[in-house]
Amino acid sequence: MLNFIKKEFRFKNLISYSCALVTAFLISVVMYSSNAFADLQGIFYPDSFPSTYEVINSGSNYSGLTYRYWRSESVQGNSNTPTTVYFSQVRTSSGTSSPSGAQFGVYKIVDLRDKRYLDWYAQSITTTKSVPTNYTANMGSLYSEMTVYADSYGIDGSQSNVRYDRIAYTNR
């Protein structure tokens, strides 16, 4: 067994394994950039299944403040190629800010109109909060957006530190 393992770690064999890894990586890069894994780019494709889309949001300001939080959106399309999507709930959790101070602003669901929720307004980025949104949005140009005041003074800070964390919903 040991001899077998030693054989496999010969230089020539290590080259085969390395080439395979590099090829797999390149294939992933091509598929990623061709939207095959577009979910990772902030774009989701809802269908008729009740789905929870969990996104990690992160950003920074020009002075070095960094923030990070999770946002999950529970949605369900009216079909597998939906024309409408029902948003039942939105939740934020596991937020951090370094240095402390970053705060949430307005949360929006934007389709034909800009629907604003003030439930998170001026709450610390560390806030864990679930809000029943109960809204049926039109597909077409649909996205959701959380405003973050990435400033140690939060909402009271500089407007230049405002950040927008967005995800889009579309059909394939």
Partner 1 sequence: MLDMIELLTQIVKKEMFFLKRYLITLISILALTGIIGTTLASPSNNGEKFVSGHSVTSSAKVLNANEAKEVFGNTELQLPSKLPTNFYQESIIYNEPTTILNENVRAKVDVEKFKEVTIRYRNTTDNTSWIDYTTKKMEIVIMDEDAKDILINGVHGQFKSIPEQGYIAYSWFKGGLSHFIIAKNTSNEKIIEFIESVK
User: Residue 146 Cβ, how far from partner 1 at the closest point, in Å?
Assistant: 8
10 Å CB burial of residue 165 (0-12, 13-18, 19+) is buried
Our CB check for partner 1 shows the closer of 19 and 100 to be 19
Instruction: Confirm or reject binding of residue 30 to partner 1 (CB under 8 A).
Output: no
Interaction pattern, residues 69-98, with partner 1; x per rule: CB under 8 A: --x---------------------------
Angle 102-90-79 from CA coordinates, rounded to 5°:
145
> In angstroms, what is the minimal distance from the CB of 114 to partner 1?
5
CB of 131 to partner 1, least distance (A): 9
**Helix ranges, the chain (H):** 2-8, 11-33
58: contact with partner 1 by CB under 8 A = yes
Are residues 67 and 148 in contact, defined by beta-carbon separation less than 8 angstroms? yes
- Coil vs helix vs strand at 126: coil
Q: Which stretch binds partner 1 (CB under 8 A): 15-23, 78-86, 91-99?
A: 15-23
Per CB under 8 A, the list member of 56, 80, 100, 128 interacting with partner 1 is 56
Are 166 and 143 a contacting pair, CB within 8 Å? yes
Rg of the chain on CA atoms, in Å: 21
Which of 50, 35, 48, 59 is CA-nearest to residue 166?
59
Which residues form the interface with partner 1 (CB under 8 A)?
12-13, 15-17, 19-21, 23-24, 27-28, 35, 37, 39-44, 49-59, 71, 106, 109-110, 112-119, 121-122, 133, 135, 140-141, 143, 145-146, 155-156, 158-168, 170
